[in-house]
Amino acid sequence: MNPSLEIALATLPHGAEFRFVSRLLSLQPGISAEGEYQPTAELDYFRGHFPGEPIVPGVLLVEAVAQLGGIAAQADPSISPLRNLRLAGIRNAKITGAARPGQTIRLEATVMGRMGGLILVGGSASMDGTLILRCEVSLSGQEGA
């Protein structure tokens, strides 16, 4: 992985247990990012979602898009990063498929707009070229040091 991509991925405030971007594939700072999430069978949430038929919860796919969108937005060199950036809203989410442990989920996120401490991101998740999620998320953070 490109060192600048590794640095951008390291900007996620989440601990390893709640990071849903395994690898950053490309980054256009302030504009868009592409990445992957590779859930392993050992993750705790698979024990209960669903026993014998584990799938990645759709809400975690939405969180993965939010995390990737946050990476893209926070990497904009012309705008100071927001403090305490958080997922603030979900719109137009449509889950059309499922991912299982061991599969590679392809993520895409595009910064659609910014206003002060708010960022609107559009994104998707796919498996082997098949769309499994499309959504818009709002991120909220605090401006200034």
Catalytic residues: 49
Burial of 72 (0-12, 13-18, 19+ CB in 10 A): buried
Query: Residue 127: beta bridge partners?
Result: 130
- Which tokens go with 130? 């098949």
User: What is the full DSSP assignment across 88-100?
Assistant: EEEEEEEE-----
Cα three-residue angle 137-142-145, rounded to 5 degrees: 140
3-state secondary structure at position 3: helix
On the CB side of 130, CA atoms within 13 Å amount to 10
